[in-house]
């Protein structure tokens, strides 16, 4: 006796919960691997998944077992040359051919790291875990596409496409029961008399009741299967979704003083920022500005890949940001963020000008502004000017220093670490 | 395969390699009919077709159709998934579960031949083994296991809700570490039943808590009586650590005791499987081979079918020699299959040697002999009883003694007249549980003092405890919550001491 069942349509990922728990347990290892990966990767494949090695000892589930030593007898197959009483050299390391065959953990291969692969989604999730844009607030509701349709019960009229079959059938069924209740009761009574008549053999009554029953059946069948009044339609209503709009200004210095290595670091920093925004804030707009002596708004591709270069006037970028900001992104409606990266090299008399633009035009209207200085040398005028700003606006302005590739991710984390609401 | 032309009059069930539900049904009925002719007594079969990713899921839950949630299953899943995706490992064609009805998972990717092979192997081979073997009969209750697993899953989910995932996970970790020590080896346990469990669980909580208080009463009672009853607790060493902890650990919450019990019961369910691997796999392999050959003799399957079947049959049943780079011990499929096949041969074509070694079997009724060999043994006694000189010669078995007090290995016996008995005994002892796992028992508990628990490891062949001992003791300590000591004993004297907390 066998039952054959097709389970192929059953839900997959029965083990998702367990996998999650496993990841939760080894979060530290995973984080470390992800951070290491970010520092080592070229900027073109930042989004790939990653192998996470976890030392075997940490994931092992220990049980009592025998250690090396003592006396063991093992039976092996495939004897070609040995006779009883032969002595054989102990294999090197005490393992290999002589190792305990019944106990896998005795053998050398158990010592490898446990490696498992994060999917690219998981990778990104771990990468940007606990990060957020600071001071995000709900601004003016805007935009036609921030509506969604929600189910709101049923109605008696609507378009055929929204017909709710179950509800309609329910209504039809109700109508049937209501209209036929009396007739069905009568039919039951008639059937009883019919039975009684059959017993007594009363031909006349039999025929009369038979006729009545037939009429009744006809009436019952006449109630229509579906009536206009049965039709029910799904009802949907439009609901606005409150959204918070944000725009991020990315300002990058591409002047001649920035050598290839520094530019690469700046790009990495922005790439992280870009991925972070794409992952967590789907509706965030990004404005890319690159500058040497003059600033220019560019698209994503040009921002990361163009090779233009020249002298340095940092204020040009800030000026352009100020213009774009006030032209296109009204502070009443937008959460505005800025991130600036440079090697700190600037015309000396330009630095106070930068601070002035920031202080007077930009900072009053933004949620947060971050400055990253990428250099191995000592700080120059720009850093010092900005240090003053940081004191003045501790909530709004932050600056950080990147010395080498290894710093990028930790600086990024510091800038966007989730803060507890004050 | 000695099919003759007139025997092959029937038309084959199928000729292509694609399977359909109708065909599986047909094969199942034909194989079932032949199996019945050979006297295989089985539970009803529940054959489930699944995808490969579902097979990975089944792998991870170590053969339980329904499991509670735990990170270690996630780890197994990740391992299996990666092994599979990178091509290090093929998936098993089938997984079969000891339940009534007997659940067998068949993979969608299998060809028709493979599905038939799997049906013969799992649904009639393993199935009849589960139903017939004495260990399975006395240790597991096939009809209630699925219900019990559902109960366990719900109970643990409920605990997670009430006491937190982390709390539950810690207890489970500790219980898993002791899972192999949750069995009374020499006592027949009560079969588990989910309904009763649920009913009794409440009562048990209260009862244990009340009794515990008695055990751990600190108020001095009658002094004189104490003098008289100053004996050790427990009065006899206890081998079932989980049971001992469940009943006697002083500070466990009732729900924690219940989780200990659940892990213990599941351990008990798997206990027979660990002890009958050679017999079980050998039995299933012998029958898929015999049943499918019978179908071929009756003309129900084609030559192509047999070629494909034999090729995978051989690859599963190959025994690599010890000096092969891929060698990883004795293949239980090969050994079991060889022994059963040889039993049949002894009945049908006995030699003088067989008459001498197996006077009761040689020339007997092979179906009966095989059924006896399946029913009343476990791996250890099975090998000891039925491993014949011919099989030892065929497999070229030899025994090696690895004594750490000597510089070289000693080949103690080989497959020849003076060696047969020794090789057989040594191979049998390899399947003895005491050989696989250290023998650890609860020796005593200090009732009046620091409540510490003393575990005693009685060494087998001077083998010391492995390096993970301290890790496991941490888990014991977590459950017992008072100091735990372990002493390792050889020849009556303690050779090594472990203590937790250190």
Is residue B186 domain-resident? no
pLDDT over 90 at B257, yes or no:
yes
Q: Of the candidates B434, B463, B491, which is a domain's last residue?
A: B434
Query: Are both B396 and B464 inside the same structural domain?
Result: no
Q: Which of B105, B49, B51, B52 is nearest to B81 (CA)?
A: B52
Is residue B375 domain-resident? yes
Query: Are both B82 and B105 inside the same structural domain?
Result: yes
Contact B411 A1 (CB under 8 A): no
Neighbours of A3 (CB within 10 A): 12
Contact B47 A4 (CB under 8 A): yes
Q: Of the candidates B434, B460, B481, which is a domain's last residue?
A: B434
Is residue B258 domain-resident? no
Token pair recorded at residue A316 = 């040009």
Instruction: Please tell me which residue of chain A has the smallest CA distance to B123.
Output: A2
Distances (CA, A) of B119 to A271, A346, B22, B395: 55, 78, 14, 28
Q: Of the candidates B379, B413, B434, which is a domain's last residue?
A: B434
Domain residues for the domain of B109 are: 14-133+276-311
Contact A73 B399 (CB under 8 A): yes
Token pair recorded at residue A345 = 């090299």
Residue B4: the pLDDT is 45
Token pair recorded at residue B123 = 């649904």
Query: Are both B466 and B482 inside the same structural domain?
Result: yes
Neighbours of B206 (CB within 10 A): 10
Query: Are both B338 and B399 inside the same structural domain?
Result: yes
Per DSSP, what are the bridge partners of residue A385?
A: none
Is residue B153 domain-resident? no
B87-110: average pLDDT: 82
Whether B62 contacts chain A with CB within 8 A: no
Query: Are both B294 and B331 inside the same structural domain?
Result: no
Is residue B235 domain-resident? no
Query: Are both B292 and B351 inside the same structural domain?
Result: no
Residue A419: the pLDDT is 66
Residue A377 φ/ψ, nearest 5 degrees: -85, 180
In B128-167, the residues whose Cβ lies within 8 Å of chain A are 165
Instruction: Please tell me which residue of chain B has the smallest CA distance to A100.
Output: B329
pLDDT over 70 at B324, yes or no:
yes
Whether B500 contacts chain A with CB within 8 A: no
- pLDDT-derived band at A108 (thresholds 50, 70, 90) equals very low
A163-176: average pLDDT: 92
The total number of structural domains in chain B stands at 3
| Contact of B18 with B112, CB cutoff 8 Å | yes
Is residue B191 domain-resident? no
- pLDDT-derived band at A114 (thresholds 50, 70, 90) equals confident
| Ranges A102-111, A203-212, A274-283, A358-367: which has the least confidence | A102-111
Q: What angle do CA B250, B256, B259 make, to 5 degrees?
A: 130
H or E, element range at A289? strand A285-291
pLDDT over 90 at A196, yes or no:
no
Contacts of A49 in chain B (CB under 8 A): none
pLDDT over 90 at B39, yes or no:
yes
Contact B440 A103 (CB under 8 A): no
Residue B351: the pLDDT is 93
Per DSSP, what are the bridge partners of residue A75?
A: B399
Token pair recorded at residue B443 = 């020796």
Query: Are both B43 and B59 inside the same structural domain?
Result: yes
Residue B127: the pLDDT is 94
Is residue B221 domain-resident? no
In B315-344, the residues whose Cβ lies within 8 Å of chain A are 319-324, 327-330
Distance from CA of A109 to the nearest CA of B (A): 12
Query: Are both B291 and B338 inside the same structural domain?
Result: no
Token pair recorded at residue B315 = 């690859």
Sign of the CA dihedral running B266, B272, B275, B277: negative
Query: Are both B414 and B330 inside the same structural domain?
Result: yes
Q: What is the mean pLDDT of chain B?
A: 86
pLDDT over 50 at A367, yes or no:
yes
Question: Residue A274 in 3-state DSSP?
Answer: helix
Contact B438 A97 (CB under 8 A): no
Instruction: Please tell me which residue of chain B has the smallest CA distance to A86.
Output: B411
Residue A102: the pLDDT is 36
In B455-474, the residues whose Cβ lies within 8 Å of chain A are 459-469, 471-472
Distance from CA of A50 to the nearest CA of B (A): 13
What are the pLDDT digits (tens) for B184-208? 776 655 555 666 666 777 777 777 7
Contacts of A59 in chain B (CB under 8 A): 75
Q: Helices B241-248 and B194-215: crossing angle, nearest 10°?
A: 60
Residue A368: the pLDDT is 86
Give the C-alpha separation, B58 to B77, whole Å.
Answer: 9
Of B176, B408, B418, the CB nearest to A88: B408
Contacts of B25 in chain A (CB under 8 A): 2, 4
Of A3, A64, A114, the CB nearest to B472: A64
Give the C-alpha separation, B361 to B386, whole Å.
Answer: 10
Whether B82 contacts chain A with CB within 8 A: yes
Distance from CA of B152 to the nearest CA of A (A): 16
Q: What is the mean pLDDT of chain A?
A: 81
Query: Are both B399 and B350 inside the same structural domain?
Result: yes
Instruction: Please tell me which residue of chain B has the smallest CA distance to A77.
Output: B397
Residues 6+ apart with CB under 8 A from A6: B21, B48, B49
- ipTM (interface predicted TM): 0.81
- Mutation choice for A interface testing from B33, B61, B241, B411 by most A CBs within 10 A: B411
What are the pLDDT digits (tens) for A315-346? 889 999 999 988 988 887 788 888 998 888 88
B222-231: average pLDDT: 50
Query: Are both B323 and B288 inside the same structural domain?
Result: no
Residue B295: the pLDDT is 94
Of B321, B436, B440, the CB nearest to A77: B321
Is residue B322 domain-resident? yes
pTM greater than the 0.90 cutoff: no
């Amino acid at each position: 006796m066998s039952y054959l069942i097709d389970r192929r349509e059953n839900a997959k990922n029965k083990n998702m919960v367990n996998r999650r728990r496993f990841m939760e347990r080894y979060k530290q290892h995973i984080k470390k691997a992800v951070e290491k990966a970010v520092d080592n990767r070229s900027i073109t494949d930042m989004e790939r998944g990653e192998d996470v090695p976890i030392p075997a000892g940490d994931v092992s589930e220990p049980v009592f077992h025998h250690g090396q030593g003592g006396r063991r007898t093992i039976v092996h197959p495939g004897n070609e040359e040995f006779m009883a009483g032969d002595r054989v050299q102990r294999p090197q390391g005490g393992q290999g051919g002589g190792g305990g065959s019944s106990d896998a953990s005795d053998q050398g291969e158990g010592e490898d790291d446990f490696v498992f692969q994060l999917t690219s989604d998981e990778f990104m999730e771990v990468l940007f875990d606990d990060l957020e844009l600071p001071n995000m607030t709900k601004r003016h509701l805007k935009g036609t596409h921030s509506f969604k349709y929600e189910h709101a019960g049923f109605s008696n009229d609507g378009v055929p496409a929204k017909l709710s079959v179950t509800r309609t059938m329910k209504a039809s069924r109700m109508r049937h029961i209501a209209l036929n209740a009396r007739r069905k009761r009568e039919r039951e009574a008639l059937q009883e008399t019919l039975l009684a008549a059959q017993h007594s053999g009363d031909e006349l009554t039999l025929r009369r009741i038979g006729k009545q029953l037939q009429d009744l059946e006809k009436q019952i069948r006449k109630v229509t299967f579906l009536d206009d009044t049965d039709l029910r339609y799904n009802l949907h209503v439009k609901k606005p979704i409150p959204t918070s709009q944000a725009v991020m200004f990315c300002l990058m210095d591409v002047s001649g003083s920035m050598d290839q290595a520094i530019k690469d670091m700046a790009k990495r920093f922005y790439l992280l920022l870009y991925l972070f925004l794409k992952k967590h804030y789907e509706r965030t707009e990004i404005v890319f500005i690159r500058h040497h002596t003059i600033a220019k708004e560019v698209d994503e591709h040009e921002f990361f890949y163009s090779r233009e270069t020249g002298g340095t006037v940092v204020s040009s970028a800030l000026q352009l940001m100020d213009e774009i900001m006030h032209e296109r992104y009204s502070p009443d409606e937008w959460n505005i963020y800025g991130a600036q990266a440079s090697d700190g090299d600037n015309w000396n008399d330009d630095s106070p000008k930068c601070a002035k633009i920031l202080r007077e035009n930009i900072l009053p209207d933004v949620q947060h502004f971050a400055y990253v200085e990428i250099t191995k040398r000592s700080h120059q005028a720009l850093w010092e000017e900005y240090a003053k700003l940081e004191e003045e606006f501790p909530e709004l302005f932050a600056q950080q220093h990147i010395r080498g590739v290894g710093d990028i991710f930790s600086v990024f984390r510091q800038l966007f670490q989730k803060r507890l609401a004050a | 395969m000695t099919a003759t032309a007139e025997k092959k009059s029937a038309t084959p069930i199928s000729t292509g390699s694609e399977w359909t539900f109708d065909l599986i049904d047909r094969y199942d009925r034909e194989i079932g009919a032949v199996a019945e002719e050979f006297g295989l007594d089985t539970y009803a079969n529940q054959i489930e077709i699944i995808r490969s990713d579902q097979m990975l899921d089944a792998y991870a839950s170590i053969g339980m159709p329904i499991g509670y949630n735990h990170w270690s299953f996630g780890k197994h899943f990740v391992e299996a998934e990666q092994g599979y995706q990178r091509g290090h490992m093929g998936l098993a064609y089938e997984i079969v579960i000891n339940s009534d009805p007997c659940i067998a998972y068949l993979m969608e990717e299998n060809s028709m031949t493979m599905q038939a092979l799997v049906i013969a192997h799992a649904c009639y081979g393993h199935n009849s083994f589960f139903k017939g073997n004495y260990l399975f009969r006395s240790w597991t209750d096939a009809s209630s296991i699925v219900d019990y697993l559902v109960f366990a899953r719900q109970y643990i989910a409920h605990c997670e809700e009430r006491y937190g995932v982390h709390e539950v996970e810690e207890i489970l970790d500790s219980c898993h570490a002791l899972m192999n020590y949750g069995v009374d080896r020499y006592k027949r346990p009560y079969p588990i039943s989910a309904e009763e469990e649920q009913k009794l669980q409440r009562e048990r909580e209260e009862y244990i808590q009340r009794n515990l208080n008695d055990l751990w009463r600190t108020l001095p009672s009658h002094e004189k009586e104490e003098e008289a009853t100053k004996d050790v607790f427990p009065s006899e060493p206890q081998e079932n650590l989980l049971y001992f902890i469940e009943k006697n650990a002083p500070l466990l919450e009732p729900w924690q005791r219940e989780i200990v019990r659940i892990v213990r019961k599941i351990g008990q369910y798997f206990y027979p499987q660990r002890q009958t691997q050679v017999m079980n796999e050998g039995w299933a392999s012998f029958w898929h081979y015999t049943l499918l050959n019978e179908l071929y003799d009756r003309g129900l399957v084609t030559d192509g079918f047999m070629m494909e079947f034999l090729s995978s049959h051989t690859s599963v049943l190959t025994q690599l020699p010890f000096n092969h780079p891929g060698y990883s011990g004795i293949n239980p499929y090969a050994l079991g299959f060889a022994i059963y096949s040889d039993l049949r041969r002894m009945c049908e074509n006995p030699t003088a040697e067989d008459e001498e070694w197996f006077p009761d079997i040689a020339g007997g009724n092979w179906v009966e002999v095989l059924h006896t060999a399946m029913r009343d043994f476990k791996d250890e006694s099975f090998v000891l009883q039925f491993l014949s000189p011919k099989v030892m010669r065929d497999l070229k078995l030899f025994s090696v003694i690895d004594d750490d007090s000597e510089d070289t290995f000693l080949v103690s016996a080989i497959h020849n007249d003076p060696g047969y008995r020794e090789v057989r005994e040594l191979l049998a002892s390899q399947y003895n549980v005491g050989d696989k796992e250290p023998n650890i028992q609860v020796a005593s508990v200090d009732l009046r003092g620091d409540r510490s628990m003393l575990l005693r490891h009685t060494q087998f062949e001077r083998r010391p405890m492995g390096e993970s001992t301290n890790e496991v003791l941490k888990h014991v300590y977590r459950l017992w919550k008072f100091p735990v000591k372990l002493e390792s004993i050889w020849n009556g004297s303690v050779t090594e001491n472990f203590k937790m907390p250190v």
